[in-house]
Amino acid sequence: MDLSLLDFVFAGLAALAAGAINALAGGGTLITFPVLTFLGIPAVAANVTNTVALCPGYFGGTLAQLKDLQGQKNRLWIIVPASVIGGVVGGFLLLRTGEKLFKELVPYLILLASGLLAIQDPVRAWLIRRMGEGHGSRLEKLSWLPVGLASIYGGYFGAGLSVIVLSALGLTLEDTLTRLNALKQAIGFSVNVAAAIFFLFSGKVVWPVALVMAVGALIGGTLGGKLAGRVKPSTLRWTVVTIGVIVSIIYFLK
């Protein structure tokens, strides 16, 4: 694609913001995906490039919560394969959707992702209450099913995946929110890496943009980690939700 230096700067800054937002509140895709389409990248290619570019940020987030994954080896053996398969299936469905249909779905997907971010706090409150009351189920061996379904969505679009995954884990596991968050991070990483590897052979990745964004996402994730505690996540989350709703309206009008 014929992109200018300013376009690359714009994409890098969007990825930097997305990396920080993902580290603090989630929803970074609602920033980067519209920017990529604004630069003239076709919707499917923009989504594929975005998935590949933001992978390093998920890796950093998983490393940061590695200690909270200790003692959860058996669970990881159940849910990581389901996450990988789900990510690949979602990626396959994306590539099979076709450009025209995906463009028609984009505003609905962005609106859905905005809605998922909006209910993140209630979902967390439900999880805390459920764990506190000792209502954890004994369905741990079936956790692969809701996680796998959530992962298909993650491989297809991804924004708001963390809310779906947390809800899925809360349905089948009993544990502290901290440890469930660590599992959620591992699932997000598995889904995105699986989808990204699948996309490597699709011919849809705009590599120059993806590489610039990957650097931006890494820097943004680092900055986001340092800003944790200084920026109120709920305020940032609602800002992203508002942006997502506005963007979806623009897509509907277009």
Contact 252, 49 (CB under 8 A): no
CA–CA separation, 169 vs 136, rounded Å? 10
pLDDT of 94 reads 93
Give the mean pLDDT per block of 10 residues along the chain (254 residues).
88 90 78 92 93 80 76 87 95 92 90 84 76 60 86 88 82 78 85 91 92 89 69 76 86 80
CA–CA separation, 178 vs 176, rounded Å? 5
Q: What are the phi and psi torsion angles at 108 (to 5°)? A: -70, -40
pLDDT of 139 reads 65
pLDDT of 174 reads 76
Query: For the chain, what is the HEC assignment?
Result: CCCCHHHHHHHHHHHHHHHHHHHHCCCCHHHHHHHHHHCCCCHHHHHHHHHHHHHHHHHHHHHHCHHHHCCCHHHHHHHHHHHHHHHHHHHHHHHHHCHHHHHHHHHHHHHHHHHHHHCHHHHHHHHHHHHHCCCCCCCHHHCHHHHHHHHHHHHHCCCCHHHHHHHHHHHHCCCCHHHHHHHHHHHHHHHHHHHHHHHCCCCCCCHHHHHHHHHHHHHHHHHHHHHECCECHHHHHHHHHHHHHHHHHHHHHC
Contact 119, 242 (CB under 8 A): no
pTM: 0.82
Contact 49, 204 (CB under 8 A): yes
